[in-house]
């Protein structure tokens, strides 16, 4: 089932896909310069759907807000939108009982981690792709959801920041480095490797099905 949705008080546009016998739901939290129409995000969502994971892609900012660079990097604001969207999933009849994972990229990963720290009762797993967890350093110790950080081996500055973040996380965690990949994982096979790592993590922590 594919459903266009509107999330929160701002009616942020989103695309919800629920495969038959869904085992969990993955909410995409996009970074700066990306959005729900990104071919990379849509391809990744398709890979998750093959594993019976529902996917929710939406834009954290309105079109007007996205033009304001200050708002693009306002992690507190983005995290508020994530929390509001998490609340939305709890009231959707097909999602309320499914375990929720957050899939964040770039600055969106920081918003996802902050959202997870604020809603430990709802978020069951977090995956960061080329993320900036350092932008949420003040709340990493409060994250309870098992967290996977995926970074390109050539993305040396971001890799160093992720290693620093690993020391602040006190939950089941892992850092996966994709050899020969840059920040956007545009190299042949790189995004496929990300998909394998992320899907395995979500299967492990969401795949047991429904919450009580």
Q: What is the mean pLDDT of the chain?
A: 92
Residues 43-63, mean pLDDT to the nearest whole number: 92
Return the CATH fold of 2-206: Rossmann fold (3.40.50)
pLDDT at 31: 73
Confidence of residue 138 (pLDDT cuts 50, 70, 90): very high
Tell me the H-state helices in the chain.
39-50, 69-72, 75-90, 107-118, 156-168, 190-206
What distance in Å separates the CA atoms of residue 130 and residue 182, rounded to the nearest whole number? 9
Q: What order do you get walking across the sheet with 2-7 strand by strand?
A: 2-7, 12-17, 53-58, 24-29, 99-105, 123-129, 147-152, 173-178
The residue-averaged pLDDT of 23-42 equals: 84
| Residue 78 tokens, joined | 């983005």
Residue 84 has pLDDT above 50, yes or no: yes
Mean pLDDT of 59-84: 88
Once rounded to an integer, what is the mean pLDDT over residues 45-60? Answer: 94
Answering whether pTM is above 0.85, one says yes
pLDDT of 34 higher than 70: no
Residue whose structure tokens are 């996917």: 55
51 three-class SS: coil
Query: Averaged over 56-66, what is the pLDDT?
Result: 86
| Residue range 66-79: mean pLDDT, rounded | 88
Q: What percent of the chain has pLDDT over 90?
A: 77
Whether 129 contacts 157, CB under 8 Å: no
């Amino acid at each position: 089932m594919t459903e266009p949705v509107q999330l929160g008080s701002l009616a942020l546009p989103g695309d919800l896909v629920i495969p038959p016998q869904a085992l969990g739901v993955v909410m995409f939290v996009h970074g700066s310069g990306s959005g729900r129409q990104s071919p990379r995000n849509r391809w990744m969502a398709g890979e998750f759907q093959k594993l019976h994971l529902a996917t929710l892609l939406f834009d954290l900012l309105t079109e007007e807000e996205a033009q304001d660079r200050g708002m693009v990097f306002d992690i507190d604001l983005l995290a508020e939108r994530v929390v509001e969207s998490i609340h939305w999933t709890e009231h959707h009849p097909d999602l309320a009982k499914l375990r929720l994972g957050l899939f964040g990229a770039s600055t969106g990963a920081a918003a996802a981690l902050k959202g997870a720290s604020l809603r430990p009762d709802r978020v069951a797993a977090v995956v960061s792709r080329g993320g900036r967890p350092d932008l949420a350093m003040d709340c990493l110790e409060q994250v309870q959801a098992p967290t996977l950080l995926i970074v390109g081996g050539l993305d040396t500055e971001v890799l160093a920041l992720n290693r620093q973040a690993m020391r602040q996380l006190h939950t089941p965690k892992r850092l996966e480095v994709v050899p020969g990949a840059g920040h956007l994982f545009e190299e042949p096979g790189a995004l496929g490797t990300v998909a394998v790592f992320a899907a395995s993590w979500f299967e492990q922590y969401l795949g047991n099905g429904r919450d009580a």
